Chains A and B, each alone.
Chain A
Amino acid sequence: MVVLLGSPTAESAEVYARTVTEGDPSWVGPLAGIALGLPVFHVLEEEVKSQFDAAVYKEQVSIMESVLDTDDIIDAMRQVRDAVGV
């Protein structure tokens, strides 16, 4: 099982990434305190992007690379995965 995110900011990407790895960081949802430890990526990350059909990615997603703060989102995802060890 893998989780793929389409979050618009680094902050929201981090919250979702933490929620499906170490548990809900806000401690209010059903996943509070539940560490699922699922591998999690943002759809803009090279690790998953390279596996998509290039034409499909270009049509469906690519314009958002220049719209969102892509580098910040990717950094946030890496930091969560490194910290949690998934």
Chain B
Amino acid sequence: MSQPVVREIRFFLAHTPGLVRHGSKPTREIHANHSVWQDIRGSLRSFDDAVAYAPHQVMLGNMQPDDLNTAEAPWYENMLAEYSTSGPHGEMVNEDQFHGLLKAADEFDLVLLEEGYATRVAAELRNHPRVTDEEIERIQGVPFSRIEERLSSREGAIPLLTRDGATIGLVQTDYVDDPSLAPDILLENLAVKATATMALRSVLAESGTDPASLQYVIGSGEEAIGDRYNRGGGNLGKAVAEASACVNSTGADVKAFCCAPVHAMVVGGSLVQSGVFPEVAIVGGCSLAKLGMKYRGHLAKEIPVMEDVLAGFAVLMGPDDGTSPVLRLDSVGRHTVGAGSVQQAIVEALVADPLDRLGLKFGDVAKYATEMHNPEITDTAGSGNVPRTNYRLIAALAAQRGEIPTGSESRDKFVEEHGMPGFSPTQGHVASAMPFMAHAMDDLKAGEYQYSMFLAKGSLFLGRMTHMSDGESFIMEANSGAE
């Protein structure tokens, strides 16, 4: 039976300092105290600073994750001399371009942009290879007086601001009585659609895939699209397929908090292997709610508010082509109900079980991709270094099984060799293992190593339906037909 392969993966990043005020935590605290927005605004980065930020260049594929071990820290103070808004793994746009893309993704007149701003933004996007003429036409503005009137006269609209504090538009609901269609939720959902769409278009273009040949798109984000009768009803997958001209595709969403992308990869790979759909795309839009989540810690340390970037991704999977890295469906690791909440049991289920099944040792996997959250964002706000904690757990289990010596020295050696510094924006599910996949694809194709493991965890307990967390994992292997 043919094995599914991962043909391509791309990321789409948007630097959106003006939208930080719409992150969940800033929204609540600005509502309670208006001066909070001025405090945040004073610590927001310029677009150049965000692009020249080393972790973002790793996301775009212009640097390797391990390059961060030698990049001068703190990275937010040591901008790179050479940097680009695009790279082999993706692209990054500025907030003006992103506001234009929000308008382009909007089919219900939910976004209003001021006319002069809209004209300027449309001109900036006109030469973008993956923005259609029809979308450029859609980026029409309205007089500023209409935006002012809408914001002041009725409820159901929130302002769109740029980093410099100028109001350049708004997002409105077309049904004030439905809390599931509140403007902040519609903004979040449009941002998800825009980021996932740009990533999918990029994957299709870069892999030379005709959009019409794709048959299924799986959404794997954390958004809850729907109205009051079906909150979270979803199917971002199909909306993104439509926006990407995948006329012969349908889709569905896989929901599992931050580990949904790994679940979706397994579902997608299974659909390919079974022959139900020959090609499947997995997309994950951004997590706007998490903008500025740890702003308070950053302000207290007088460092930039670094949760100012939205990120989305798209992956294209297909049948074995003899060259692309293989997703080993026989390696899938599951955090079962019976495993409980014990960290050790979770790592056994996600790491040791798959290794045992394939007859591998911990050291046989060259690189483990866990939750790749940038530690500069989390550690400075007291939340610790998430990837390092995960790598230490894997090392501790390897030591327990006698595969590496015990003690912190060999632990740290294992972490350095088989792990990497975190480099992903803290965008929930997007950060979960996926950011390394683009690098692993390069390495596996180049024959640098044979195995890489991807594992993610989901905080189900946040939804109050269970105290449990969740997790899933799989191993990717270099394609033996490549030699």
Residues of A within 8 A of B (CB): 8-9, 11-12, 15, 26, 28, 59-61, 63-64, 66-68
Contacts and interface: CB of A to CB of B under 8 A. Distances in A.
Nearest to B28: A28
B342 A15 contact: no
B343 A63 contact: yes
Contacts of B411: 66
B255 interface: no
Contact of A68 (B344, B382, B389): B389
Q: What class of interface size applies to chain B in its complex with A?
A: 10 to 19
Contacts of A68: 384, 389
Contacts of A28: 29, 32, 296
Nearest to A28: B29
The 9 closest A-B pairs by CB, nearest first: A11-B382, A8-B384, A67-B392, A12-B382, A9-B384, A63-B344, A66-B396, A60-B342, A63-B396
A33 B400 CA distance: 46
B396 A9 contact: no
A83 B257 CA distance: 39
Interface string B255-279: 0000000000000000000000000
Q: Residue among A12, A15, A26, A66 with the most chain B CB within 10 A?
A: A66
Nearest to A59: B342
18 contacts: A8-B383, A9-B382, A9-B383, A11-B382, A12-B383, A12-B384, A26-B296, A28-B29, A28-B296, A61-B342, A63-B344, A63-B396, A64-B343, A66-B392, A67-B343, A67-B389, A67-B396, A68-B389
Given A9-B383, A12-B383, 9 more contacts: A8-B389, A9-B382, A12-B382, A12-B384, A15-B382, A28-B32, A61-B342, A66-B396, A67-B396
Nearest to A65: B396
B408 interface: yes
Contacts of B379: 9
Nearest to B296: A26
B366 interface: no
Interface string B404-427: 000010010000000000000000
A67 B392 CA distance: 5
A26 B32 CA distance: 14
B190 to A, nearest CB: 29
B393 interface: yes
B286 to A, nearest CB: 25
A63 B389 CA distance: 11
Mostly, the B contact residues are: helix
A84 B446 CA distance: 58
Contacts of A67: 343, 389, 392-393, 396
Interface string B18-32: 000000000001001
A1 B397 CA distance: 35
A47 to B, nearest CB: 22
Contacts of B408: 66
Contacts of A60: 342
Contacts of A12: 382-384
B382 A63 contact: no
A40 B239 CA distance: 49
A44 to B, nearest CB: 12
Nearest to B391: A67
A63 B393 contact: yes
Interface string B322-343: 0000000000000000000011
Contacts of B392: 66-67
A66 B29 CA distance: 37
Nearest to B341: A60
Interface in B1-38: 29, 32
Interface string B279-317: 000000000000000001000000000000000000000
Contacts of B393: 63, 67
A67 B419 CA distance: 14
A15 B408 CA distance: 27
Contacts of B296: 26, 28
A4 to B, nearest CB: 15
A16 to B, nearest CB: 10
A48 B432 CA distance: 34
A59 B32 CA distance: 44
B353 to A, nearest CB: 16
Nearest to A14: B382
Nearest to A8: B384
Contacts of B343: 63-64, 67
Nearest to A58: B344
Contacts of A11: 382
Nearest to B390: A67
Nearest to A9: B384
A66 B408 CA distance: 8
